[in-house]
Structure 1
């Protein structure tokens, strides 16, 4: 699905995680985490910055919208993938994005923001 300068692929969705990270460095969810693994590919002719924390939102069946948990993103990605990645044309980044949602929540869709300064439409992926 294309959104602005990137083509996005949702690789997997896993909900019900109580914490993210390893045994020493981790963060616990207020509710539970839904982990979305996404690939962002630069489909333009120049390098662009990708930041999953400001690009993605998740929605549930009741219309509630969730933002990614930045701390979980730091602990859940070994090399900070998805945080201020400069992606050259044709290259891609695969990142884990975590949403802290109430326990039992099932996500209905993910929205990839095309950007503030573009005429492109946001990309919405139904899960």
Structure 2
């Protein structure tokens, strides 16, 4: 008659290994290494940044060193060329020329030994001109905007006079025009070749009026 183990449990079937022959318990499954892919992604991102920086630098230097484009519609204005009168920068006596809000016409340049009872250091050159406001707002025309150029290339500034015909801070409303005179004290015997008018408030100019 077979004896039952205490507690009524059935004995284990088959041969049993002693505890010292049993292997260690299985550990957790090995994790896949992800750091090579992280490094590869960082390397690709850095390469893209370098390529973008090189491309931007090349585009910048190309734009800085590229020759300026020629304007096919530009005309030679040194000889009074141009399809429109206002595009001229060099005209003759009696010809109007536009400069900013002004339309200026120089009628004559004459020399005098005296002006309004005043004697010059050399001789007076009197420029007679007409100024029209072709803009939309009132503007001031001053004789300081006019200068004389002689045969040696020297530029002469206007003199201040108290004459009623002097264009000194003359306010002109839109559509109006004002004739007047600008007086210069120049060395005696100076050959005047041109009158220049410049509007400091306009990006255009100066314009040149050739004197025959």
| TM bucket, shorter chain | 0.7 to 0.9
TM alignment of 1:101-120, pairs within 5 A: 101-115=186-200, 117-120=201-204
What number of residue pairs does the alignment pair up?
A: 115
Normalised to the residue count of structure 2, the TM-score between the two structures is 0.52
Q: Can you give the 5+ residue segments of structure 1 that lack an aligned partner in the other structure?
A: none
- Alignment correspondent of 2:104: 8
- Alignment correspondent of 2:205: 121
Q: 2:137 aligns with which of 42, 46, 49?
A: 46
Q: Is the 2:110–2:126 contact (alpha carbons within 8 Å) kept by the matching residues of 1?
A: yes
Larger RCO: 1 or 2 (CA < 8 Å, sep 6+): 1
| Structure 1 position 121, deviation (Å) | 1.9
Structure 1 consecutive aligned stretches of length 4 or more whose deviation exceeds 4 Å: none
State the distance in 2 between where 1:39 and 1:33 align.
19
Higher helix share: 2
Q: Is the 1:59–1:109 contact (alpha carbons within 8 Å) kept by the matching residues of 2?
A: yes
Normalised to the residue count of structure 1, the TM-score between the two structures is 0.84
What's the Cα RMSD here?
1.2
Return the index of the structure with the highest Cα Rg: 2
| Structure 1 position 12, deviation (Å) | 1.4
